[in-house]
Amino acid sequence: ARSAGGRFLVRKKKEVEPSMPAQVTNYQCPGCTGPLHFVGASGKLECEYCGASYDVAEIEALYAEKEEKAAAAQQAAEEKAAEKKETSDGGDWDTSGFSDDWGEEGEGMKAYSCPSCGAELICDESTAATSCPYCGNPTVVPGQFAGQLKPDFIIPFKYSKEDAVKALKEHCAGKIFLPKSFTNENHIQKIQGIYVPFWMFDGEAEGDAHYQATRSRTYTSGDYEITETRHFDVYRAGRVTFEKVPVDASSKMPDDHMDSIEPYDYKKLKPFSTAYLPGYLADKFDVTVEQSRERADQRCQGTLDAALRSSVRGYDTCIQTGGSSSLQRGKVHYALMPVWMLNTKWHGKDFTFAMNGQTGKLVGDLPMSWGRFLGLFAAIAAPLSILGTIVSVLMLR
C-alpha cells in the first residue's frame, strides 16, 4: 500500500529586520561621562561610577543622525544583494552585504591576539583584556584594529559571571566519582564572557524521499498469539524555506562544546550595536563562509530531511531508502552569540567549560577519581563474591 501524502510546502514568514543601530565611538554615561556596561540581568546599560542605568534604545537615540546613515547604507547593500541572481545549481552563499567599515565606531575598539593559541579578539576600549578566554594564557597583546568584519546581529548576555560560577558548581554536584579537591572554589582560574562568531544562512531546499514503513498489531486467536505486520512504501516531496541556519565560525571554540550548548533563541537576535560589548570580548571569525559551506549545506539538508520525515506519521517503524534534493543558497548573516568560558587547572591539566550566556546551559569534561571508582567497585564486588560462594556451597550439597 502507498500512503497518502504528495507534495507539501513549508514556509516561514520573512522576518522584517529592524534598521542597523548607531555607529558611535563609545557609549558614555550622559550624567558623568563614565563608561557604560551592559548588564544581562537588567537588560540595561549601567554606569559603574554614578550607578545610573539606561535602556539601550535611550542611549542610541543620542546618535540618531548616525543611526539613520548606517541604516540607509545597510538597506542599500541588502537591496543590491537581493538583485544578485543565483545559478541553477544553487550558486554560492550571498555575502555581498558584509562590510568592514565601522566608521567612527572603530576608533573606540581594540584588537588583541593570543601568541599561544592564535585567537584574535576585539572589544571596546573600556574592556580590559588580560588573558585569553580559550587557553587561559595571561599574555594577550594589543593589535591593530583594522579590516574587522562588522557583525549584522548579536544576542546579548542574559546570565552574569556569578551565574556561570553557580552553574559550574551545580555541574559538579552529585558526581560521586569527581575528585573532592576539584570542587573547591579556588580551582577556577579564569572566567571570561565572550561573543562567539556565527555565520547564519538563508535559503531554500527542495527534494523528495522514499521510506519503508511498517504498522503492526498483536491479537489472540484460540491458543495462539498472532502479530500481524503490514508494510508500506511511503513517498514524500516538498520544499522548505529556512532562515538563519547557524554555523560556528571560530576554530578555537571546541566544536563539541559549541554544539552542546546550542540552541540559542534566535528570536532574540538584535541588530548589532557596540552597546552590548562593554565588559566582554568578541572573537574574530577564523572560519570563512567558504570553509563553512559544507557544514552549512549539511544543516540545510538536515532541515529538509527533518521536515519530510516529520510528515510521515502513524507507523511503528520508518526507514528512509532513497531520495534526492537541491539547495538554493541565499543570504549569509554574521552574528555574535554570548558564551561564558571557564578555565580551570587541576593536577597540571587544563579543563575548559562553556556556558550559553543566553540560556545558562553549561558543558565541559570533568576528571574522575579512580580511587573512589575502585573503592565503590570493591564495595559492590565483595558482597557479590560472598553471595556467589554461598550459592556454590549450597549447590554442592
Q: What is the DSSP secondary-structure string of 86-139?
A: PPTT----B-TT-----GGGGGGEEEEE-TTT--EEEEETTS---S-TTT--S-
Highest mean pLDDT out of 30-39, 207-216, 253-262, 384-393? 207-216
More confident residue, 117 or 82: 117
Q: What is the mean pLDDT of residues 33-46?
A: 82
More confident residue, 295 or 140: 295
Q: What is the pLDDT of residues 233-281, one digit of tens each?
A: 999 999 998 888 888 888 877 777 777 888 899 889 999 887 888 778 8
* Contacts with 181 (C-beta within 8 Å, 6 or more apart), sequence order: 187, 346
Q: What is the pLDDT of residues 44-90, one digit of tens each?
A: 888 878 888 888 888 777 756 555 665 666 676 566 555 443 333 56
Please tell me the predicted confidence (pLDDT) of residue 210.
95
Give the span between the Cα atoms of 75 and 81, in whole angstroms: 10
Q: What is the mean pLDDT of residues 328-346?
A: 87
Confidence class for position 18, pLDDT limits 50, 70, 90: very low
Cα(first)–Cα(last) distance of the chain, in Å? 63
Please tell me the predicted confidence (pLDDT) of residue 129.
52
Segment among 100-104, 324-328, 377-381 with least mean pLDDT:
377-381
Confidence class for position 218, pLDDT limits 50, 70, 90: very high
pLDDT higher than 80, residue 118: no
Average pLDDT taken over every residue of the chain: 75
CB 95 within 8 A of CB 203: no
Phi, psi (deg, nearest 5) at residue 192? -140, 130
CB 334 within 8 A of CB 97: no
Candidates 273, 319, 218, 369; CA nearest to 55 is 273
Please tell me the predicted confidence (pLDDT) of residue 243.
87
Q: What is the pLDDT of residues 301-334, one digit of tens each?
A: 888 999 999 999 999 999 999 999 998 989 999 9
Please tell me the predicted confidence (pLDDT) of residue 369.
47
Give the span between the Cα atoms of 355 and 361, in whole angstroms: 5
